[in-house]
Amino acid sequence: MGVVPREKALALARERGLDLVEVAPEANPVVCKIVDFGKYRYQLQKREKKQPKAGKVKEVKFTIQTGEHDFRTKVQRIREFLEEGMKVRAVVFFKGRQIIHMEKGKELLARVAELTQDLAKVEQDATERGRNLEIVLAPISRKGGGS
């Protein structure tokens, strides 16, 4: 529409049953749009939700005594996080004297990496942090999109 006085822009918006929304208040002159404000806010929220959650790191904990069913359930959660684009830290924590069975923890984390290899790459190999052993899995980018 070009440069229009504020009063005329407000009158046009009211006439159409819409709202006058400031888009760029820093610009000179100020840039506004005539839109349905509720719909505009909804679209902004939708756009924000679609943003990748790459900054988030989810943590899933195991022990060397984690049962098979619990293990499968936790691996499924890891897969869901990876599909959403999040990094995952898989941690095996050792209680008491379990710390002497470090190789069992490494085997468990290797199994997690193997079961998620179609969705993730190991970003950080198994490292000890106090009484914990952890790996970090990062989602594989799928921007190719071919079938």
Using CA of residue 34, residue 39, residue 42, residue 43, what is the dihedral sign?
Answer: negative
- Residue 91 — φ and ψ, nearest 5°? -125, 130
Which pLDDT score, from 0 to 100, does residue 145 have? 47
Q: What is the mean pLDDT of residues 110-117?
A: 93
- Asked if residues 60 and 88 have their Cβ atoms less than 8 Å apart, the reply is yes
Q: What is the mean pLDDT of residues 126-131?
A: 90
pLDDT more than 70, % of the chain:
92
- Residue 5 — φ and ψ, nearest 5°? -60, 150
In whole angstroms, give the CA distance from residue 113 to residue 135: 9
- Tell me the whole-structure pTM to 2 decimals: 0.59
Residues of the chain with CATH 3.30.110.10: 57-139
DSSP 140: P
61 confidence band (pLDDT: 50, 70, 90): very high
In whole angstroms, give the CA distance from residue 33 to residue 21: 5
51 confidence band (pLDDT: 50, 70, 90): low
Which pLDDT score, from 0 to 100, does residue 147 have? 44
Bridge partners for 19 per DSSP: 35
Residue-wise burial string across 88-126, b where 16 or more C-beta atoms lie within 10 A, e elsewhere? bbbbbbbeeebbeeeebbbebbeebbebbeebbebeeeb
* Superfamily of 57-139 according to CATH: Translation initiation factor 3 (IF-3), C-terminal domain (3.30.110.10)
CATH 2.60.40.1180 applies to domain 6-50: no
Residues of the chain with CATH 3.10.20.80: 6-50
